[in-house]
């Protein structure tokens, strides 16, 4: 990745009194969509505030696009809190945000309408924010973060409280702005599924410690030798016959999910024959994809065990 890192944290520590919220956090992330993961109290929000320059680190430093001085005009921030003015209309709020980011009034209004068009807000932009649904508020919050055309978008829980279609739409927007408009996006969320859907890189924090900072692929790991077979029929004998090839099995009522390891296509054929010969019926035989949930919890467990 020979590019300038979007965010480069070096030995970042933040203490509030005796409590250490971030402990010697170091990582660098590159243009793309970056997932910032961690359970509650992991230090994600503190890290975001340090990136935005709203608070100063106790020690260590951060550079954005290679510069240690934070230029807020280059950053668009979508807070987790509602952070709206209920009596304002949607387009007014976005234009207002643009003005606060240095746009002239007329430019801000024009940009506001453009962005809201882009996000499919239609006529609802003329309604007061107090009358908006959660999905619409999230869109307006995204619009206000984009109105001044920032290079880096920092989104704190952008899909929180959204129903599945609205969530998918929000993730589509993020993909669009990152892939087609070249924005770098930091996505702070609890929803591992969101990260797995759109992110290229991940930073995992827990108890103020950076557990991982790498590409999503690296974190999830290559599991191309693992497969899932759904077996009906004589399931008990099949599992016994598979022996050590069977990694684990889950009884699903009418069928059993069997996770197996096969090194080659010859081995796949052999397992297929074995299942059939013991009276099993194969409903599904698919490669097992890497799972972010497993990788994430494995990291947390590893940290817990290391602590113990």
Q: Which is nearer to other proteins, 127 or 245 (CB)?
A: 127
CB 36, min distance to other proteins, A: 16
Structure tokens at 235: 């399931």
Cβ(29)–Cβ(7) below 8 Å? yes
d(CA 222, CA 63): 32
Q: Which is nearer to other proteins, 103 or 271 (CB)?
A: 103
Q: At what angle do helices 105-118 and 90-100 cross, to 10 degrees?
A: 130
Q: Which is nearer to other proteins, 195 or 242 (CB)?
A: 195
CB 231, min distance to other proteins, A: 31
Q: Which is nearer to other proteins, 82 or 284 (CB)?
A: 82
CB 106, min distance to other proteins, A: 10
Q: Which is nearer to other proteins, 129 or 258 (CB)?
A: 129
CB 72, min distance to other proteins, A: 5
Structure tokens at 237: 């004998």
Structure tokens at 296: 């994430």
Question: What is the contact surface with other proteins in residues (CB under 8 A)?
Answer: 49, 52, 54-55, 72-73, 75, 77, 79, 81-88, 96-97, 99-105, 107, 111, 114-115, 117-118, 120, 144, 146, 148-149, 165, 168-169, 171-172, 175-177, 180-181, 197
CB 148, min distance to other proteins, A: 7
Q: Which helix (H) or strand (E) holds 13?
A: strand 7-16
d(CA 31, CA 93): 29
Strand order in the sheet with 184-189: 75-78, 152-156, 184-189, 33-37, 201-206, 209-215
């Amino acid at each position: 990745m020979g590019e300038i890192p979007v965010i480069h944290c070096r030995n970042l520590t933040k203490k509030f009194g005796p409590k250490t919220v971030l402990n010697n956090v170091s990582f660098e992330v590159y243009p793309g969509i970056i997932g910032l993961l961690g359970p509650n109290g992991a230090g994600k929000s503190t890290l975001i505030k340090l990136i935005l320059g709203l608070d100063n680190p106790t020690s260590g430093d951060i550079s954005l696009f290679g510069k240690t001085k934070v230029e807020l005009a280059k950053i668009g921030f979508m807070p987790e809190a509602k952070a709206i003015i209920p009596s304002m209309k949607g387009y007014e709020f976005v234009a207002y945000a643009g003005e606060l980011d240095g746009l002239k009034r007329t430019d801000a209004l024009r940009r506001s309408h453009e962005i809201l068009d882009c996000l499919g807000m239609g006529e609802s932009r003329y309604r007061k924010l107090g009358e908006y649904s959660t999905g619409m508020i999230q869109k307006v919050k995204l619009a206000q973060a984009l109105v001044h055309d920032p290079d880096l978008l920092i989104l704190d829980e952008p899909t929180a409280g959204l129903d599945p279609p609205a969530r998918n739409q929000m993730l589509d927007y993020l993909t669009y702005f990152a892939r087609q408009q070249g924005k770098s996006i930091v996505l702070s969320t609890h929803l591992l599924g969101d990260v797995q859907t759109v992110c290229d890189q991940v930073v995992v924090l827990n108890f103020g410690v950076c557990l991982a900072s790498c590409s999503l692929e690296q974190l999830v790991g290559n599991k191309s030798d693992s497969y899932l077979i759904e077996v009906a029929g004589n399931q008990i004998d099949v599992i016994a016959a598979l022996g050590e090839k069977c990694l684990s099995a889950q009884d699903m009522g009418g069928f059993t999910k069997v996770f197996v390891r096969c090194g080659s296509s010859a081995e796949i054929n052999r397992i297929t024959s074995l299942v059939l010969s013991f009276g099993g019926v194969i409903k599904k035989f698919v490669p097992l994809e890497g799972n972010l949930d497993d990788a994430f919890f494995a990291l947390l467990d590893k940290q817990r065990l290391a602590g113990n």
